[in-house]
Amino acid sequence: MISKRIIPCLDVREGRVTKGIKFKNNIDIGDPVSLAQFYYKEGADELVFYDIAASYQKRGIIIDIVRETASQIFIPFSVGGGIKTIEDIRNVLLAGAEKVSVNSAAVTNPAIINKGAKAFGSQCIVLGMDAKRVDAGKNIPSGYEIVINGGRKYTGIDALEWAKKAEKLGAGEICLNSIDADGTKEGYEIKLTSLIASNVKIPVIASGGAGNPEHLCQAFTKGAADAALIASMTHYGTYTIKEIKEYLDSQGVKIRKI
Amino acid sequence: MIAIVDYSAGNLTSVGRALEYAGYNYIITSDPKKVMNARRIIFPGVGAAGAAMKNIKSLMLDKALSVAFEMKKPILGICLGSQIVMSESKENNQQCLGIIEGYAKSFSENAGLKIPHMGWNGINIERQHPIFSGLKKDAEFYFVHGFYPLPENRKHIFATTDYGIEFPSVVGSGSLIATQFHIEKSGEAGLKMLSNFCNWKPL
């Protein structure tokens, strides 16, 4: 049976991997290509590079890092952050990424999902969505609102409706990030994860809040996620991928053994 | 020299990069002559069967692949490549290469499973083959697909994979072997299988 995927996320700023707490106070973690190799050997199932500043500083995406990584590791990896056009998608895929993640640009221009899926196939278009807990109401019935530009701007769009719409437009996967949980290490937003994962047919990656292996177990079981993003819990060496996988295996969660 | 067949069905550079890493020379080509003259052929692809077959025919690659197959050149199909080698695909009811009798069909939407089948999964070996040499028993491979090949004759099924149902994930005939999963994105197990293919001498 299919394995649940564990995906380290490498936030990249100016060519270096950083990890911020709720997008602020970024500290340096290291060289993205070496970290990618490290995680590949450790048994990561996939990787994400996220160009965290690209969205508002309009910097080009990190094509060199992608190219270098693609010649050294042979698992799928995706690139997100600042992807705005079909040309951006093409450049990232040609440099060797398996998938691209569109986030803010898809909210302002949903057609990019459709166009990207038509040009390159749904399997390489990931919708990245940042959701924030709000009071449920007429406009936001699910109680989760989509925010963009790294959590700085509210959009008035309901997270569940957006997920369903993106699926219809041809997104192949959803990377669902909880702004409230991000960087807290207190666990994924299980209610949000389960809400989205059980209402779309495409795979959902839980993101934001992972602090220990039990959190991943919850995301996969109660949250019904197909994959889980991790960052600080392994970046700082608190856990290894192997330890996380051993724990999940002991809890009956199907994982890929190395 | 290994020829990676280019028929505008997706990104071929990842297969090339994996070959380069494993230490093999290759060319990426859509020239039928170069395909026929290669020692080995890799036939990858993502996307829809209809568009793929249209390109293959207009480039005369269908003939080149048939001739190479008759000459017993080792051919490796990957992903869409494992579906196109069948007689037919139910995706757009497209007539395909017909190297293996049978057709490509889609997963049932009613099984409560996410479609496409995307992620890592194991294989159950049905028939031994040199490309399986030295693999760990619980090795897993990276899949992304909504359709899979279903040969008429069981002898063409070399491995199956469990995704709600048991579907054929490695099919083959003679000097052709084809994997539904992406061996170029399947970590060390995939690289091992790729090396096995590069050293395979079909009888």
Task: For residue B92, list its beta bridge partners.
Answer: none
Residue A132's domain is classified under what CATH number? 3.20.20.70
Do the domain assignments include residue A15? yes
Q: Is B128 within 8 Å of chain A by CB?
A: no
Question: Scanning every residue of chain B, which has its alpha carbon at the shortest distance from the alpha carbon of A172?
Answer: B116
- State how far the Cα of A63 lies from the Cα of A193, in Å rounded to an integer: 31
Q: Is A199 within 8 Å of chain B by CB?
A: no
pLDDT beneath 70, residues of chain B:
10-11
Domain that holds residue A67: 5-250
Encode pLDDT of A60-74 as tens digits. Answer: 557 889 999 999 999
Chain B environment of A226 (Cβ under 8 Å): 114, 118-119
Which amino acid is located at B138 in the chain? Answer: D
Joined tokens for residue B151: 């040969």
Helices marked H in chain A: 32-42, 54-57, 63-70, 86-94, 104-108, 111-120, 159-169, 190-197, 213-220, 232-235, 241-250
The domain limits of chain B are 2-199
- Among the listed residues B195, B193, B192, the one whose alpha carbon sits nearest the alpha carbon of residue B169: B193
Chain B environment of A71 (Cβ under 8 Å): 17, 20-21
Joined tokens for residue A165: 């719409």
What is residue A151's predicted lDDT score, i.e. its pLDDT? 80
Decide: residue B33, CB within 10 A, 0-12 exposed, 13-18 middle, 19+ buried: exposed
* Percent helix / strand / coil, chain B, rounded to 5: 35, 35, 30
Between chains, do A71 and B17 touch, taking CB under 8 Å as contact?
yes
CA angle centred on B21, ends B15 and B23, rounded to 5°: 105
Q: What is the pTM of this model?
A: 0.93
What is residue A54's predicted lDDT score, i.e. its pLDDT? 58
Strand order in the sheet with B86-89: B94-95, B86-89, B100-106, B147-151
**H or E element in which residue B123 lies:** none
Count of A-B CB contacts under 8 Å? 79
pLDDT beneath 70, residues of chain A:
19-29, 53-61
How many CB atoms are closer than 10 A to CB B165? Answer: 12
What is residue A223's predicted lDDT score, i.e. its pLDDT? 98
Q: B51-59: long-range contacts at Cβ-Cβ below 8 A with a sequence spacing of 24 or more? A: B51/B9, B52/B7, B52/B9, B52/B80, B52/B84, B53/B84, B53/B94, B53/B95, B53/B96, B55/B7, B55/B8, B55/B9, B56/B7, B56/B84, B56/B97, B59/B7, B59/B30, B59/B32
Give the nearest partner residue to B13 out of A96, A120, A203, using CB atoms: A96
CA angle centred on A162, ends A161 and A163, rounded to 5°: 90
Give the nearest partner residue to B21 out of A71, A122, A257, using CB atoms: A71
**Residue of B83, B123, B140 for testing the chain A interface, max A β-carbons within 10 Å:** B140
Do the domain assignments include residue A255? no
What is residue A40's predicted lDDT score, i.e. its pLDDT? 95
Between chains, do A76 and B142 touch, taking CB under 8 Å as contact?
yes
Give A194→chain B minimum CA distance, Å. Answer: 14
Does ipTM surpass 0.90 in this model? yes
What is residue A139's predicted lDDT score, i.e. its pLDDT? 92
- Among the listed residues B181, B157, B160, the one whose alpha carbon sits nearest the alpha carbon of residue B100: B157
CB A77 within 8 A of CB A36: yes
Question: Scanning every residue of chain A, which has its alpha carbon at the shortest distance from the alpha carbon of B124?
Answer: A1
Task: Tell me the CATH number for domain B2-199.
Answer: 3.40.50.880
Give the nearest partner residue to A96 out of B17, B46, B143, using CB atoms: B17
Do the domain assignments include residue A256? no
What is residue A59's predicted lDDT score, i.e. its pLDDT? 52
Total count of residues recorded for chain B = 203
CB B67 within 8 A of CB B36: yes
Helix (H, G, I), strand (E, B) or coil at A42: helix
Could you say which of A51, A130, A182, A226 is catalytic? A130
Pairing label, strands B86-89, B94-95: antiparallel
Give the nearest partner residue to A121 out of B10, B115, B163, using CB atoms: B10
Residue whose token pair is 């042979």: A74
What is residue A23's predicted lDDT score, i.e. its pLDDT? 44
Q: Is B120 within 8 Å of chain A by CB?
A: yes
Structural domain count, chain A: 1
Question: Scanning every residue of chain B, which has its alpha carbon at the shortest distance from the alpha carbon of A47?
Answer: B185
Whether A11 is catalytic: yes
For a pLDDT cut of 70, what percent of chain B falls above it?
99
What is residue A20's predicted lDDT score, i.e. its pLDDT? 56
- Among the listed residues A44, A25, A22, A4, the one whose alpha carbon sits nearest the alpha carbon of residue A235: A44
Do the domain assignments include residue A115? yes
